[in-house]
Structure 1
Amino acid sequence: MDANEIIVCIAITFCLINMGCSTTDPKDAKILSDFKNGLQNPELLKWPNNGNEYDPCGPPSWPHVFCSNGRVTQIQVANLGLKGTLPQSFNHLTMLYNLGLQKNQFNGTLPTFSGLTELQFAYLNFNEFDTIPSDFFHGLRSLRVLALDDNPLNATNGWSIPDELQDSVQLMNFSCSSCNIVGSLPDFFGKLSSLNSLVLSYNRLSGAIPASFYGSNLQILWLNDQDGDGMTGNIGVIGSMVSLTEVWLHGNSFTGSIPNNIGSLTSLKELNLNGNLLVGIIPPNLAAMALQLLDLNNNMLMGPIPKFRASDVTFSSNSFCRTTPGLQCAPEVNALLDFLRDLNYPSNLASQWSGNDPCTGPWLGLSCNLKGEVLYYKFAEAKA
């Protein structure tokens, strides 16, 4: 064995001992080269321009790139200020399991992630991607976390979450606030037993919370501030989701009453129902909950204002009988509210029946005699 062969053997032995000697798969190297070439400011990556230019896995590996056995497994470039597009062949990085592109200025069309079966974590939020391909979610069987928030995806017509996402049975966190989702809330989210957090604020969702959410293991549910009329229907299913810690439903058109079993949500810390069309009496067990935040503003809630245990609570612009927490309604008001409950709180009455004297103010459908006693004969007219 000559001197050169000895040197090669020593180098190979050293690499094997340190588990750091691997040649990057040529396809992976090409994609990273295309990634760099698609940027307006590639110098921020501090990737080499010569030497091991085509060997991202090194040694030494390129900054922000992590490999295993010559395959790229992670790219972590969060908050570097990068501007540019991604290569459309991105899904050929078939061993990629963790991708952090958040808080940059990536733009243009998102490449499809179809076939990235090893991908577990993908942070694409806070960028400027304007298009998402129809097959983006296909085959993401290992996905645990996907963040797409604050991207102007398909801004003109919006886009709907495809059914393929339900095949990501290990999904724990899906967030896509301010990304132009339209249509109804997919019912498969209620069937994913691993899902802990669903954040879909500031989109264009409509319709009701699906019945499939009954008993869901969700801990965080943010559906607030949908554009247009927002989401509708009652929120009764919330009372069955006993793992919830944060519920943000404000800025929609939810109707009906706050569920009486809301007190079973013993882990709940934040409940925001501001700006809906909710009616009825506040359940006593809600008032007894030691929440960090409770916002009931701008609804049609009725009856007395209870004394709340919540550390931060607001309840303005409703139809309460009194303005001071803890004071009860007059007996005739309680009787009328019981009657209204039996009618399922029709909205035209719930919006008008406020205050503590039915013979003063806008109590639609009521007529009083000179003694201030309520006459009931106009109820049928008021219901019409």
Structure 2
Amino acid sequence: MFLTWNIVVLLCNYLFLIILRKMFLRGRLGFSVASAAAIVFTFWPVKLASGATLVPDEVDVLREIAKTLGKTDWNFGVDPCSGESNWRNATAPKEFANAVTCDCSFENSTTCHVVSIVLKSQSLPGELPPELVKLPYLREFDVTRNYLSGNIPPIWGTMQLVNISLNSNRISGTIPKELGNISTLANLTLDFNQLSGTIPPELGNLSRLQRLTLTSNNWTGELPRTLANLTALKEFWIGDCNFTGSIPNFIENWKSIEYLVIHGSGLKGPIPPGIASLTNLTDLRISDLSGNDTTFPNLRGATNMKTLVLRSCNIVGQLPDYLGSLTKLRVLDLSFNKIDGPIPRSLDALSNTVYIKWSRKVLKGDLLEKISLRVKASKSFPPSAQIVQTKLCKPTELLMKN
């Protein structure tokens, strides 16, 4: 933006000089072109100074943040909002995003404020900076895939952040209850860290939260009932942790949920009946539930489902006929359950499904012959085998996996 303004000013000055020269040659001006040029270039520094720049206080704050993070390549010899040097790498791949973004619309477009800091995969060795609170307009802080350690600063709870992405670091401690005060927060991503303790009930205050991912931490305790208030939630991911209790039926309140992932979380089954009301689901993945046997959950209304994984969920009995109505289904994994009986003929309608995995005990009835499948496996079907099918409704191959 700053460079573009300079180019515009230069062109205007050049045109102004041409006009002055013509007027001088026609005798309409009583001073020389050199005098006119002197006026123009006296004016030039003023035009340069009018370019929007970051307020000095925020420059100082960025110095503090750089020190805390271990960010050594920010060049403070140029304005951080200029997009120059290493402040904003526009050519970096998305997974290596390295950018400080500013809003320069303040005070008639003369003043900038930092609104976003995204530093992905930058090998940052420091800690999470409490100094973020000194950037009053900051809305996004993303330090995905670094080596940051320490705790999440509770003082962040006084900010108006929209996105906090801290996944794949070495962050420890607990989630500060103060984060529940960030009424603007839409995304909280904490996967693959060393966080521990229980999930604070205060997170249920985040009425605008759309994405909450907590996979691969050392969580304990039950999911707080206050999470039922997260009615704007579209993605919820937990797994590889040590929660207790059962999958809560309050998930029925998450009417906007599209991605619901509960893998090896420590939670018990069964899958609650409230899941039937989640008709916007496109991706449901639940695995490794302890508890008693249960029948197949009611997902009849989830007609947008593309991925359905119910692996080792203690499901017994027959597959429901309604599975054939999930015509957008691409992946179906029902392995390590106790499903038996015939394959529903309705599955013949799943023409888009490219991956199906289930326990071999389900293979009964004449549907396999009807769809002319070729089996590439041992005829003995060992007890531990699953069937992986790459296409259900056309002649193809079935692969055995032990």
Q: Please say if residues 96 and 116 of structure 1, whose CA atoms lie closer than 8 Å, have aligned partners that are also in contact.
A: no
Aligned length: 303
Identify unmatched segments of 5+ residues in structure 2.
Answer: 1-39, 88-98, 104-110, 369-402
Q: Is the 8 A contact 1:117 1:140 kept in 2?
A: yes
Tell me what 1:114 maps to: 156
Report the identity percentage: 25
Match of 1:78 in 2: 120
Residue among 247, 256, 260 paired with 1:209:
247
Structure 2 residue aligned with 1:193, among 231, 236, 242?
A: 231
Q: Is 1:124 paired with 2:161?
A: no
CA distance in 1 between counterparts of 2:83 and 2:314 reads: 62
User: How far apart, in 2, do the equivalents of 1:8 and 1:195 lie?
Assistant: 57
Structure-2-length-normalised TM-score? 0.67
State how far apart, in whole Å, the 1-side matches of 2:366 and 2:304 are: 25
CA gap of 1:59–1:326, structure 2 versus 1, over 3 A, is closer
Query: Any idea what the Cα deviations from partners look like across 1:353-379, whole Å, max 9, x if unmatched?
Result: xxxxxxxxxxxxxxxxxxxxxxxxxxx
115-124 vs 183-192, which moves further: 183-192
User: CA offsets per residue over residues 258-314 of structure 1, 9 Å max, x none?
Assistant: 13x422110011111111212232211024433111111112223323343343212
TM-aligned CA deviation for residue 32 of structure 1 = 2.3
Kept after mapping to 1: 8 A contact 2:180/2:204? no
Change (3 A) 1:128 1:298: same
Q: Distance in 2 between matches of 1:22 and 1:59?
A: 12
In 1, the alpha carbon distance for the partners of 2:271 and 2:175 equals 33
Aligned residue for 1:263, secondary structure, equals: coil
- Aligned counterparts of 1:246 and 1:296: Cα–Cα separation in 2: 14
Change beyond 3 A, Cα 1:238–1:317: farther
Whether 1:218 and 2:257 are equivalent positions in the alignment is: yes
Q: Which residue of 1 aligns with 2:68?
A: 38
- 2:307 is the alignment partner of 1:270: yes
Q: Could you say what secondary structure the match of 1:72 adopts?
A: strand
Which structure's residues are more often helix, by fraction?
Answer: 2
Per the alignment, do residues 61 and 13 of structure 1 end up closer, same or farther by CA in structure 2, a change over 3 Å counting?
farther
**1:126 CA displacement:** 1.1
State the SS of the aligned residue for 2:115.
strand
2:143 partner amino acid = L
Letter in structure 1 aligned against 2:307: E
Structure 2 SS opposite 1:115: helix
Paired AA for residue 357 in structure 2: T
Question: TM-score, normalised to structure 1's length?
Answer: 0.70
1:134-283 matches, within 5 Å, as: 134-153=176-195, 158-214=196-252, 216-227=255-266, 230-253=267-290, 255-259=293-297, 261-283=298-320
| Cα RMSD (Å) | 2.9
- Corresponding residue for residue 363 of structure 1: none
Task: Please give the secondary structure, in 1, of the residue aligned with 2:260.
Answer: strand
